[in-house]
Amino acid sequence: MLIIDGHLDMAYNALFHRRDLTRSIQELREREDPVRCNLSSHPDSLERRGGSPHTLYKGIATVSLPEMRRAEVGIMLTTIMARVQTPSLTAHNACRTRHTAEARGRAHLAYYKALERRGEVTFIKSKDDLERSVTAWQDPQPDTPVGLILSMESADPISSPEAVAEWWEAGLRSVTLTHFGANTYGHGTGSLGGLYPPAYPLLDAMRETEMIIDLTHASDQAFWQILDYWDGPVHASHCNCRALVEGQRLLSDDMLRAIIERDGVIGIVFVDTMVNPQVNWDDPSTFVSQAARPMRAMIEHVDHICQLAGNSRHVAIGTDLDGGFGRELAPVDMDTIADLQGFLDLLRGAGYNEDDVAAIAHGNLLRLFRNNWQ
Amino acid sequence: MAHQLIIDAHLDLAFSAVQVNRDLTVPAATVRTQDGENIRRSFGSCTVTWPELRRGHVGIVFGTVMSRIDPNDEWTRSGMYCQDQCHGIGHGHVAYYQVLEREGLIRFIHNVSDLNEVVDAWQAPTADTPIGLVLAMESADPILSPDNVAEWWDLGLRMVSLAHYGISSYSHGTGTEGGLLPRAKPLLEALAAAGIIVDLTHTTDQAFWETLETYDGPVAASHHNCRTLVPGQRQLSDEMIKAIIERDGMIGAAFDAWMLDPDWKKDTPSYDQATSATLDTVVDHIDHIAQLAGNTRHCGIGTDLDGGFGSEQAPRDLNTIADLQQLPDLLEKRGYSAEDVTGILSGNWIRLLSQTW
């Protein structure tokens, strides 16, 4: 069955973590063997010169295009991800300036275009594109391109309201204003505060298009400020339930109801820290580095949202796999993104009927775009 | 004496901003306080920012797009496994320059009239005279194929080196042995058709001569010193220098201690050693080329400052790139005429670009 993953950071993985996503997961993992014996060909490289270079945690890879094809994860929302935040040990991937954020954002776009040129993906910019991709995945071939809906996590690469049209033209269809900390447009996860003044003209410009606002990573205050101001379509591409795991990063029941009321969709994240009741996202000392729960734990969050809604129309999948964590923090019964088909079986086993499963796997996100695109 | 316009034919500014994550709109001293310990150790103390360039009257720069195939390069975050990745990073670098152009800090130089206007503006610059930028590429990996050259030309690309360190998609580069790869020939044909200068810096000896045989368009060695003075593949032999002179090409003097100081220890971090090279050592290399040519027409500047190293690995009397303004005096002391000095600092690069376009 076709699965739509509502949130992946493919270009970030390709360009920041240097993963060639057209290769098998096995090859990606071999390349990242921590005991490497090869040195950079650049003579200035610190490790070549006997210094100790700073290495980054990137987790064990779980996502690559062949893995997605294998499990019919045939359509994805995948990000432009470059936020402004003062870089630090815990924000190593943040950009110091908006110049850098915009440059990295456009690097991400260029990477997706290069993948499209190679036939690995196909951009979905319109209803027609969407239907074509859905049709192709009803009878997938080994080389069926993965449908790509461009999204943005942190709006920093959008330099001004005037730039929205250009990004729309490039394919951008869903945007979170904020990410971690405070950025150009307001406060995000891990910070207290609301939107900044530039957020409003940006929202106005996005309303001129058929952009969908992604409420993920908005601070509580920013979440409600956006809903007060924005009368367009919304979703939360990758968010779990605060009733089950504490912290601002997750959605309270009031927030879930507000999204449901707007006919929005909430994507379930496949990371242990968002299904582990001992974790509190507002208290980093509670964070864990190793998963201890199977995919079944995600179903509790699916159930919770369905109970609030009274139906299964507002839940989707937004795994965020390889989005700052790897297999070590993914559900213990998940090796790669290809195991998502097993998640659908778990839903069936938990009493969801075939229509419900189809809605969660792809139907609800399809509705979101079909209803909001001309 | 009033400041002279200087052209620096090789700066990895976008790399510094996008990969190293520096704010280049502030003085170098400020960047040094912002860089984390790991950045400072890896890439050295910052020497090049837009205000420093302005202070040094470096009014025109060749700014690079820099991403190459180098699977083991965890360090610069620009060495990649495949060309799609290089293409992405490369576009990010262009985007950085485009953002600055939109904000009026720089101006792309696409053709002779752009060039003349920027040169004129820098005869009497004001605080907001934009710095002229000629887009260059170090390692051709971001160009996916010959039919992708047109896209890069439209973005402003005017000079390309086929390789960098290691083996690119098109050629063997510094630190390896071997020549051009099969894909080089059609690329060189497309570059010649577009009128893009081929930068011979970072090619192996074999690839150097093969390129000259294959490619009949304009050539330069953007940041390259003399092997007679500092041994090693990274420098140009006298025969190579003569070949470039014969093609009426240009050689930019590089400001990297590794290329200036024969005693520089490549296997020791730059923060654990000191070089004896000074700006006068750079002049030695310029002079060597001038003596071979019998004139100064082929000598220019291509510092490569902040191209993976900082002030620790630059001439010891250079703090930031603004110190390039010491060069006119140093050249005059060697007996170069005012005309020669102007040629070396800017005129010769202007000639190459004007002839090419």
- Give the tens place of pLDDT for each residue, B55-98: 999 999 999 999 999 998 888 889 999 999 999 999 999 999 99
Check CB contact under 8 Å for B77 and A20: no
Q: Which pairing describes strands A146-153 and A172-176: parallel, antiparallel, or unpaired?
A: parallel
Check CB contact under 8 Å for B75 and A36: no
Question: Closest approach of chain B CAs to the CA of A341, in angstroms?
Answer: 29
Give tens-digit pLDDT for B292-335.
999 999 999 999 999 999 999 999 999 999 999 999 999 999 99
Instruction: Give me the pLDDT at residue B235, please.
Output: 98
CB-CB: which of B72, B95, B99 is closest to A41? B72
Question: Closest approach of chain B CAs to the CA of A29, in angstroms?
Answer: 13
In 3-state terms chain B splits into helix, strand, coil percentages (rounded to 5) of 45, 15, 40
pLDDT band at residue A42 using 50, 70 and 90 as cut-offs:
confident
In chain B, what residues touch A117 (CB-CB under 8 Å)?
Answer: 144
**Beta strands, E only, chain A:** 3-8, 73-81, 121-123, 146-153, 172-176, 212-214, 234-235, 266-268, 315-317
Question: Closest approach of chain A CAs to the CA of B295, in angstroms?
Answer: 33
B interface test, pick of A100, A148, A156 with most B CB neighbours within 10 Å: A100
**Beta strands, E only, chain B:** 6-11, 58-66, 68-69, 79-80, 106-108, 131-138, 157-161, 197-199, 219-221, 250-253, 299-301
Instruction: Give me the pLDDT at residue B184, please.
Output: 98
Q: What is the mean pLDDT of residues A141-146?
A: 96
Instruction: Give me the pLDDT at residue B192, please.
Output: 96
Check CB contact under 8 Å for B36 and A87: yes
In chain A, what residues touch B176 (CB-CB under 8 Å)?
Answer: 41
Nearest CA in chain A to B97: A103
Instruction: Give me the pLDDT at residue A348, please.
Output: 98
A:159-188 residues touching chain B, CB 8 A cutoff: 159
Q: Which residues pair with A182 in a beta bridge?
A: A187
**Cα(B339)–Cα(B347) distance, integer angstroms:** 9
Amino acid at B227: R
Mean per-residue pLDDT over chain B, rounded? 97
Residue A257 contacts by C-beta under 8 Å, 6 or more apart in sequence? A308
Question: Closest approach of chain B CAs to the CA of A161, in angstroms?
Answer: 15
DSSP code for A154: S
CB-CB: which of A20, A41, A46 is closest to B269? A46
A:29-58 residues touching chain B, CB 8 A cutoff: 31, 36, 38-51, 53-55
Long-range contact set of residues A96-99: C-beta below 8 Å, sequence gap at least 24: A96/B21, A96/B22, A96/B23, A96/B34, A97/B17, A97/B23, A97/B25, A98/A156, A98/A159, A98/A184, A98/B99, A99/B17, A99/B23, A99/B24, A99/B25, A99/B96, A99/B99, A99/B100
Angle, CA of A299, A300 and A306, to the nearest 5°: 85
Give tens-digit pLDDT for A286-308.
999 999 999 999 999 999 999 99
Question: Closest approach of chain A CAs to the CA of B93, in angstroms?
Answer: 6
In chain A, what residues touch B269 (CB-CB under 8 Å)?
Answer: 46, 49-51
In chain B, what residues touch A111 (CB-CB under 8 Å)?
Answer: 84-85, 87-88, 91
Nearest CA in chain B to A109: B88
- Please answer whether residues A226 and A194 qualify as being in contact, where contact means their C-beta atoms are separated by less than 8 angstroms: no
Nearest CA in chain A to B310: A44
Q: What is the mean pLDDT of residues A5-28?
A: 97
Query: Is the pLDDT at A21 greater than 50, yes or no?
Result: yes
3-state secondary structure (DSSP) of residue A262: coil
Instruction: Give me the pLDDT at residue B38, please.
Output: 86
> Computed over its alpha carbons, how large is the radius of gyration of chain B?
18
* Residue A15 forms contact with B (CB below 8 Å): yes
Give tens-digit pLDDT for A247-300.
999 999 999 999 999 999 999 999 999 999 999 999 999 999 999 999 999 999
Distances (CA, A) of B179 to A349, B261, B297: 61, 27, 29
Q: What is the mean pLDDT of residues A209-232?
A: 98
* Residue A95 forms contact with B (CB below 8 Å): yes
Mean per-residue pLDDT over chain A, rounded? 96
- Please answer whether residues A60 and A334 qualify as being in contact, where contact means their C-beta atoms are separated by less than 8 angstroms: no
**Cα(B138)–Cα(A160) distance, integer angstroms:** 31
Check CB contact under 8 Å for A107 and B18: yes
Query: Is the pLDDT at B168 greater than 50, yes or no?
Result: yes
Among B238, B174, B181, smallest CA distance to B214 is for B181
Percent residues over pLDDT 90 in chain A = 91
**Cα(B139)–Cα(B160) distance, integer angstroms:** 7
H helix count then E strand count, chain A: 13, 9
Size (chain A), residues: 374
Instruction: Give me the pLDDT at residue A36, please.
Output: 66
Residue B163 contacts by C-beta under 8 Å, 6 or more apart in sequence? B68, B139, B140, B170, B171, B172, B173, B174, B202, B203, B204, B207
- Please answer whether residues A342 and A333 qualify as being in contact, where contact means their C-beta atoms are separated by less than 8 angstroms: yes
Give tens-digit pLDDT for B208-230.
999 999 999 999 999 999 999 99
CB-CB: which of A44, A114, A118 is closest to B88? A114
**Cα(B165)–Cα(A373) distance, integer angstroms:** 47
DSSP code for A269: P
Distances (CA, A) of A258 to A206, A236, A266, A315, B115: 20, 11, 11, 14, 57
How crowded is residue B195: how many other Cβ atoms within 10 Å of its Cβ?
12
CB-CB: which of A99, A106, A117 is closest to B17? A99
Nearest CA in chain A to B166: A41
* Residue A118 forms contact with B (CB below 8 Å): yes
CB-CB: which of A19, A40, A88 is closest to B75? A40
Check CB contact under 8 Å for A96 and B22: yes
Amino acid at B58: V
Query: Is the pLDDT at A196 greater than 90, yes or no?
Result: yes
pTM exceeds 0.95: yes
pLDDT band at residue A53 using 50, 70 and 90 as cut-offs:
low
Check CB contact under 8 Å for B75 and A46: yes
Question: Closest approach of chain B CAs to the CA of A24, in angstroms?
Answer: 13
Nearest CA in chain B to A83: B21
**Cα(B40)–Cα(B27) distance, integer angstroms:** 16
Instruction: Give me the pLDDT at residue B77, please.
Output: 85
Q: What is the mean pLDDT of residues A303-321?
A: 98
Instruction: Give me the pLDDT at residue B1, please.
Output: 47
